[in-house]
Chains A and B, each alone.
Chain A
């Protein structure tokens, strides 16, 4: 719970960090994907 008194706010903290981490993972996995010659 990281010192938070409610699960909802502990969740907001964890999910915010997880969302940023998700963006990093997405960026790394797709680092070289999406060149114009090779759409999607």
Chain B
């Protein structure tokens, strides 16, 4: 049954990839889907790229541990990641990109500031770091394939890579977005079934929450000490858990999402702002389901597990939070659902991976090789296809060679670097005519370097996994042997963006103000489609 459904699913994916390939004639088709995507496809592709397997399995498991506090993350995903992003950044990005003829996010930055260095630098950052982030997604789904279909891990890794390679290299962004929309639809339908099943099994919405409320005295003592009062009671203000959950939500996800090149490029794939307005409707509902439903299901899994086994979710999963959601699906849902849920997980991983490959490839091909280094042999189209192939290969190599602890931290790495390197130059570039090339260069290089330093030498989660700090200085973080409880000692848990992002903003603003403004002619060109409000 599982094999049959999987083959059927792959058949449709290949067909949609073929449609993308057949309708791809010129560079603009390959890189921006011809700027003609319908709003439904754009919104579903945006959402499916945004949400990978880790948001469902990983964060769903975290919700089982910490409870409903994680819903604030969904709230911010909808408000910031969909509404603010599409309404306040999407339209401007699309129109400025059209005026300047930009094909990628690094190219938009490069064109706005009139700098090939900016395009090459941004493209280089994306190309170098996105394969490590993609490797994390690839490993996760290959492990799942290993467990559920009994396929050897290495074979799963190669098979997955080959399937994706075919439709991303040939189909370009059209292939990627058509398949994303199909995969996003599968994910959304499965979540609707899941949320109805969970609430009806527990007798209704209020009854389900009440049952979880009544379990507050079962919170394990170690979690109580760190600040968890109960799954519907929340976290004690100022406790370590409260700090972790809220700073990660606000900085890591809430703001980080605005600077993701693979999401920003989607704003440039639609014909007009009308499509973006319509996409807000679809995107808002999609993000409500994903990641909203896995969080609700994760938290309520405690009630169902307790009724069935007398244990909490984390105890059933023997302490491994990544096992909670798969175990919950297996034990609490009918057999046919677990087969289709597996498919939804494939869909979630493939839609994220395909976009990572595509954005890495356009960065290497278009931004670095063609524009920054001036290599033009074979034309833009061919160079980008080669770029995609190199990105796919790099991802496979990372997945094979790096230890998994490093790979898992790579996601945080990519989000941190993108926010500090790109967000100020991007936001100010869209809204502030006075922002200059020098301001953008200082902000990008400064923000990137500080974020990198923080990740390698201060923030203990990454610095410990990577080990460079230990190799050079004999300690896991430079802040590790400061007096315990002092502010220097606490720095090792402070997110890099708390430090690097403000510095990057300050550099962009101060350097812009002390350097001469861009020419009126250039600004007029950039703002030519931005209307009276500009």
Binding site for B on A (CB under 8 A): 2-6, 8-9, 12-13, 15-17, 19-24, 26-28, 30-36, 39-40
Q: A5-B232, A8-B234, A17-B288 are contacts. A26–B91 as well, Cβ < 8 Å?
A: no
Q: How far is the CB of B529 from chain A (nearest CB, A)?
A: 7
Cα–Cα distance between A17 and B213 once the two chains are bound (Å):
20
Q: How far is the CB of A26 from chain B (nearest CB, A)?
A: 5
A-B contact list, 20 entries, CB within 8 Å: A3-B206, A4-B213, A9-B234, A12-B68, A12-B72, A13-B68, A19-B75, A19-B288, A20-B78, A20-B284, A20-B287, A20-B288, A22-B83, A23-B78, A24-B284, A26-B277, A31-B278, A34-B273, A36-B271, A40-B533
Cβ–Cβ contact A31 & B285, under 8 A: no
Name the CB-closest residue of A to B534. Answer: A40
Cα–Cα distance between A34 and B95 once the two chains are bound (Å):
11
Name the CB-closest residue of B to A39. Answer: B531
Q: A4-B68, A9-B68, A23-B284 are contacts. A40–B273 as well, Cβ < 8 Å?
A: yes
Binding site for A on B (CB under 8 A): 67-69, 71-72, 74-75, 78-79, 82-83, 87, 91, 95, 205-213, 216, 229-230, 232-234, 271-285, 287-288, 292, 529-533
Q: How far is the CB of B373 from chain A (nearest CB, A)?
A: 34
Give every chain B residue within 8 A of A24 (Cβ-Cβ): 281, 284-285
Cβ–Cβ contact B234 & A19, under 8 A: no
Q: A9-B71, A16-B75, A23-B82 are contacts. A34–B234 as well, Cβ < 8 Å?
A: no
Name the CB-closest residue of B to A27. Answer: B281
Chain B interface SS verdict (over half):
helix
With beta carbons under 8 angstroms apart, the residue of B69, B275, B281, B530 that contacts A23 is B281
- Beyond A3-B210, A23-B83, 15 additional pairs, beta carbon < 8 A: A3-B205, A12-B68, A16-B75, A16-B78, A16-B288, A20-B287, A22-B284, A26-B87, A27-B277, A27-B281, A31-B277, A33-B274, A34-B272, A35-B272, A39-B529
Cα–Cα distance between A35 and B270 once the two chains are bound (Å):
11
Give every chain A residue within 8 A of B91 (Cβ-Cβ): 34, 40
Give every chain A residue within 8 A of B74 (Cβ-Cβ): 16
Cα–Cα distance between A22 and B72 once the two chains are bound (Å):
16
Q: How far is the CB of A22 from chain B (nearest CB, A)?
A: 7
9 nearest A-B pairs in the assembled complex, by CB-CB distance: A23-B284, A27-B281, A3-B209, A34-B273, A30-B277, A3-B210, A20-B288, A12-B71, A19-B78
Give every chain A residue within 8 A of B211 (Cβ-Cβ): 3
Name the CB-closest residue of B to A32. Answer: B274
Q: How far is the CB of B204 from chain A (nearest CB, A)?
A: 9
Name the CB-closest residue of B to A19. Answer: B78
Cβ–Cβ contact B233 & A9, under 8 A: yes
Give every chain A residue within 8 A of B531 (Cβ-Cβ): 39-40
Give every chain B residue within 8 A of A6 (Cβ-Cβ): 229, 232-234
With beta carbons under 8 angstroms apart, the residue of B229, B233, B276 that contacts A34 is B276
Cβ–Cβ contact A23 & B285, under 8 A: yes
Cα–Cα distance between A16 and B291 once the two chains are bound (Å):
11
Q: A16-B71, A19-B83 are contacts. A5–B230 as well, Cβ < 8 Å?
A: yes
Q: How far is the CB of B213 from chain A (nearest CB, A)?
A: 5
Which has the most chain A C-beta neighbours within 10 Å: B67, B71, B531? B71
With beta carbons under 8 angstroms apart, the residue of A5, A15, A39 that contacts B216 is A5
Cα–Cα distance between A39 and B287 once the two chains are bound (Å):
27
Q: How far is the CB of B240 from chain A (nearest CB, A)?
A: 18
Cβ–Cβ contact A26 & B288, under 8 A: no
Give every chain B residue within 8 A of A17 (Cβ-Cβ): 288
Which has the most chain A C-beta neighbours within 10 Å: B230, B274, B279? B274
With beta carbons under 8 angstroms apart, the residue of B69, B275, B277, B288 that contacts A12 is B69
Name the CB-closest residue of A to B284. Answer: A23
Give every chain A residue within 8 A of B206 (Cβ-Cβ): 2-3
Cβ–Cβ contact B277 & A34, under 8 A: yes
Give every chain B residue within 8 A of A16 (Cβ-Cβ): 71, 74-75, 78, 288, 292
Cα–Cα distance between A33 and B116 once the two chains are bound (Å):
35
Cα–Cα distance between A14 and B78 once the two chains are bound (Å):
13
Name the CB-closest residue of A to B39. Answer: A27
Cα–Cα distance between A20 and B164 once the two chains are bound (Å):
32
Q: How far is the CB of B242 from chain A (nearest CB, A)?
A: 11
Give every chain B residue within 8 A of A40 (Cβ-Cβ): 91, 273, 531-533
Which has the most chain A C-beta neighbours within 10 Å: B69, B78, B229, B533? B78
Cβ–Cβ contact A12 & B75, under 8 A: yes
Cβ–Cβ contact A27 & B282, under 8 A: yes
Cα–Cα distance between A9 and B232 once the two chains are bound (Å):
6
Cβ–Cβ contact B281 & A28, under 8 A: yes
Cβ–Cβ contact B272 & A13, under 8 A: no
Name the CB-closest residue of A to B532. Answer: A40
Give every chain A residue within 8 A of B282 (Cβ-Cβ): 27
Cα–Cα distance between A6 and B273 once the two chains are bound (Å):
40
Q: How far is the CB of A18 from chain B (nearest CB, A)?
A: 9
Cβ–Cβ contact B277 & A33, under 8 A: yes
Q: How far is the CB of B288 from chain A (nearest CB, A)?
A: 4
